[in-house]
Structure 1
Amino acid sequence: MSGLVNSDEQRADGMLVHHVNEGTLWNLPQWSALPRKDQSTPDFEQVYSAGFSGLQVYAPNADASKANLSLSGMARILDGATCDATIAQHKAWGFQATTLHLGTGFETLDAGKTLVQAVLDASARHSQPVFIETHRATITQDPARTLDLIAAFPEMRFNADLSHWYTGQEMRYGDFEAKLDKLQPFFERVRFMHLRMGHSCEMQTPLFLLRENQAWEDYCLLWSLCMRGFLNTAEQDERFFAVPELLPASVSYQGRLHTINYARLNDPSNPSSELSDRWLEALELKTLIESLWLEATNKVLGPTL
């Protein structure tokens, strides 16, 4: 990884890409600040006007495309046999990049390596950027296992969904700084981030409840380390995707109602009783990332003249 040249002439302008995960827009309460064209369809023109250039989706979204939003993709891959077809489909759909939930988490290290090799081969074959997501119930649920995979496949690139480690691995239990040092090879390979904050026992917490919590500073540091890792290693044509993924408490998918328990509710029987407006929080996270990105570029490349 050659990295960016540390000079005033070669800046990181244009390398930060703001997409929003479609889950952030699922089941927003009617009182949300995001306008809707009807009860279930967000006004994607307002999403674009708010500064998001794209939407991350499972499948093409014609309404989003009409509003000039680019598309990035996401999928779950459980075996190598379906990997190539999925990535080929994402390429055909014109997705700018793909993030993957890879495996179940029960794989042996050798089986995990087989899955990673399938992803890398398909990514190269179809010239599609593919980023393996740090997620519970996948082969990257464990940071130590992830580092083992990086050692075997230095070309791996990642979607850092760090709430799955911060909460799921209770990163604050023990020597937090030592863990960050060990994770440097991971930070250097992040090209995509799912943005949400939680604390040691909750994956997604309304932002207004975290401002005085240690977790706020920790997430800012983790995201900054990912950005610095990118800026120190990325090729000039690579982009860094910052993507709020603030999910509802439940969602209907393929005819079934799935309780996923992300958004916190005042009344568990009322899905509209969310404590915060996930759309406004997405905008807040976008602003926060822009500030952290500026700090990271100044630290890595030097201040803009």
Structure 2
Amino acid sequence: MKINFFCPIWGMVPDYVHQLNGSLEAIFEEIKHAGYDGIEMAIPLNDKQKYEINKLKADYEMEIIALQYAAHGNTLPEFITSYGEHIRSAADVNPVLINSHTGSDFLSFDDNCALIDESMELAKELEMKILHETHRGRFSFHAAAIQPYLKAFPSLKITADFSHWCNVSESFLTDQGVHLDHAIQRAGHLHARIGHPQACQVNDPRAPEWRDAVNHHLSWWDKIIANQIELKTPVFTITPEFGPADYMPTIPYTRKPVASQWEVNLWMKSLLKKRYSS
């Protein structure tokens, strides 16, 4: 099985969705030079900006994972309409998959199911793979909370970011092994960020004080990779996804990040590339 590594564009330039004025090419060039296979990024609704993304994608021979997080609405019909608009826009750059922030932790089970149903209809219509990220604030916010959805939708696939679950549960999920195993079986993409019981991102995973946190996550990721090998998946995708401030802790008064997001993500890519090279 081949593993392709994607770089999150999140944090590389402020408000990149709205500021694609030439700086985006420099970002593509930097990411390509760093040895990534592609970029994970939100896709704007603007056709001119999507044209630029498609051109750079071809010029630099980079794949795209489209991130959908912007769907919104005051009612379920409004939310579904907005969701469809953003998913269809994401599909315009022909991504390898769409990573969706779907639903909300305050919506009812039935309303979240309606949004998942919509995602599955869109996946068929667009012939696109749509995965649902395990993320705070979404239907997938907790290891136990996602279980009824996994049962209701046997084909539902997730982007596994278990750092959020550590934060929500204030634990390393040691008492939720069954829930984790079910989720691992549904993982189709991995966000490689290290969380801990008090936050969804450690300040620097290279620091020795976070060794236990790193090892917990590696054990879960190893199971995901083993499952993908068993499924004979030809290509699996990983995005090292440590974020900028304020995901990244900062020094008081200066708001200077305590570590480099870019360097930490490169370190994680190197670690996992070596770990899974065989």
- Shorter chain as denominator, the TM-score bin is 0.7 to 0.9
Residue in 2 aligned with 1:252?
none
Cα distance between partner residues in 2 of 1:224 and 1:280: 23
Higher relative contact order (CA 8 A, sep 6+): 1
Residue in 2 aligned with 1:208?
206
Residue in 1 aligned with 2:5?
18
8 A Cα contact 1:26 1:247, kept in partner:
no
Cα distance between partner residues in 2 of 1:87 and 1:133: 14
Residue in 1 aligned with 2:65?
72
Residue in 1 aligned with 2:107?
107
Cα distance between partner residues in 1 of 2:115 and 2:265: 32
Residue in 1 aligned with 2:186?
189
Calculate the TM-score normalised by the size of structure 1.
0.75
Residue in 2 aligned with 1:222?
220
Q: For 2:29, which of 17, 39, 45 is the aligned residue?
A: 45
Q: Shift of the alpha carbon at 1:167?
A: 1.6
The answer to whether residue 128 in structure 2 is matched with residue 144 in structure 1 is no
The answer to whether residue 262 in structure 2 is matched with residue 279 in structure 1 is yes
Q: Shift of the alpha carbon at 1:64?
A: 4.8
Q: Shift of the alpha carbon at 1:235?
A: 4.9
1:28-74 residue CA offsets vs partner (Å, 9 max, x unmatched): xxxxxxxxxx9997543232122211111112464853433222111
Distance 1:212 1:58, change over 3 A: closer
Q: Shift of the alpha carbon at 1:192?
A: 1.1
Give the RMSD, CA atoms, in angstroms: 2.4
Cα distance between partner residues in 2 of 1:40 and 1:168: 34
Residue in 2 aligned with 1:258?
none
The answer to whether residue 233 in structure 2 is matched with residue 240 in structure 1 is no
Matched ranges for 1:250-289 at <5 A: 261-266=246-251, 268-271=252-255, 273-289=256-272
The answer to whether residue 51 in structure 2 is matched with residue 54 in structure 1 is no
Residue in 2 aligned with 1:199?
196
8 A Cα contact 2:161 2:191, kept in partner:
yes
Q: Shift of the alpha carbon at 1:129?
A: 0.9
Letter in 1 for 2:9: E
The answer to whether residue 82 in structure 2 is matched with residue 82 in structure 1 is yes
The answer to whether residue 165 in structure 2 is matched with residue 165 in structure 1 is yes
Distance 1:210 1:18, change over 3 A: same
Residue in 1 aligned with 2:118?
118
Unaligned residue ranges in structure 1 (runs of 5+): 1-11, 28-37, 250-260, 299-305
Cα distance between partner residues in 1 of 2:188 and 2:167: 21
Number of aligned residue pairs? 254
8 A Cα contact 1:210 1:216, kept in partner:
no
Letter in 2 for 1:18: F
Cα distance between partner residues in 2 of 1:171 and 1:233: 30
Distance 1:84 1:43, change over 3 A: closer
Distance 1:147 1:283, change over 3 A: same
Residue in 2 aligned with 1:303?
none
8 A Cα contact 1:24 1:248, kept in partner:
yes
Cα distance between partner residues in 2 of 1:39 and 1:93: 19
Unaligned residue ranges in structure 2 (runs of 5+): 15-21, 44-49, 73-78
% identical aligned pairs: 18
Q: Shift of the alpha carbon at 1:159?
A: 0.7
Q: Shift of the alpha carbon at 1:144?
A: 1.6
8 A Cα contact 2:134 2:160, kept in partner:
yes
Calculate the TM-score normalised by the size of structure 2.
0.82
Cα distance between partner residues in 2 of 1:286 and 1:87: 28
8 A Cα contact 1:56 1:72, kept in partner:
yes
